[in-house]
A and B are shown apart, each in its own frame.
Chain A
Amino acid sequence: KAGVTQTPRYLIKTRGQQVTLSCSPISGHRSVSWYQQTPGQGLQFLFEYFSETQRNKGNFPGRFSGRQFSNSRSEMNVSTLELGDSALYLCASSLISGSEETQYFGPGTRLLVL
């Protein structure tokens, strides 16, 4: 089975712009979670989508949003970019949205905001 894929792998944006990142889960997986990874804050949970519905949300401002499509692919959007949004954005998929489900990570999208 193909693993989790993310596009694009690298992005450079300027402050005030918006960006959309895409995540394709492992075939058959219906849950997609998003995380932000920075040197200072580590790995932080953004949100989780399951069956096109947001199941959980982390402590990020409303500029961060996401959605999931019927084929389980997910997108996250960041509007009005700030310098502090520069990070590696990782998505992870699992079969279902269960507390004991194993999550598999994608390679990430590295976002640089200038």
Chain B
Amino acid sequence: GENVEQHPSTLSVQEGDSAVIKCTYSDSASNYFPWYKQELGKRPQLIIDIRSNVGEKKDQRIAVTLNKTAKHFSLHITETQPEDSAVYFCAARTYNQGGKLIFGQGTELSVKP
């Protein structure tokens, strides 16, 4: 079955710097890759997603890139702000698995003012 690995597990940056979180997946049939942000005590919130027919997607300060050949995808946050501090999860879904999302282990991002 699908396996998703996420790195790093913790990331500390200065306000204004960029942050990059990387994930690799094992199932070449995976075709949907969302990223969720979870603040302490709150629900995971979708921040951006990408489908396998697209190589890159951007939404203001957040971007995701997908390399299907290498089976990895990355989250890029530019001009980080203290409110970006949270745990970020990547996930992958295989085309014949309906709603089943396989999550990475999460990255705790800390943005220092």
Interface residues of A (CB under 8 A from B): 31, 33, 35, 42-45, 48, 50, 55-56, 58, 90, 92, 94, 97-108
Contact = CB atoms under 8 A, between A and B. Distances in A.
Interface residues of B, number: 27
A58 B100 contact: yes
Given A94-B99, A100-B31, 10 more contacts: A42-B103, A43-B91, A48-B98, A50-B98, A55-B98, A56-B97, A92-B101, A102-B46, A105-B44, A106-B43
Query: Among B34, B95, B103, which residue has the most Cβ atoms of chain A within 10 A?
Result: B103
A75 B31 CA distance: 29
Contact of A104 (B31, B46, B98): B46
A90 B34 contact: no
25 contacts: A31-B98, A33-B101, A42-B103, A42-B106, A43-B91, A43-B103, A45-B102, A50-B98, A55-B98, A55-B99, A56-B97, A56-B98, A94-B99, A98-B98, A99-B31, A99-B32, A99-B93, A99-B94, A99-B95, A99-B98, A100-B51, A100-B93, A103-B46, A105-B44, A108-B43
A35 B102 CA distance: 10
Query: Among A55, A58, A100, which residue has the most Cβ atoms of chain B within 10 A?
Result: A100
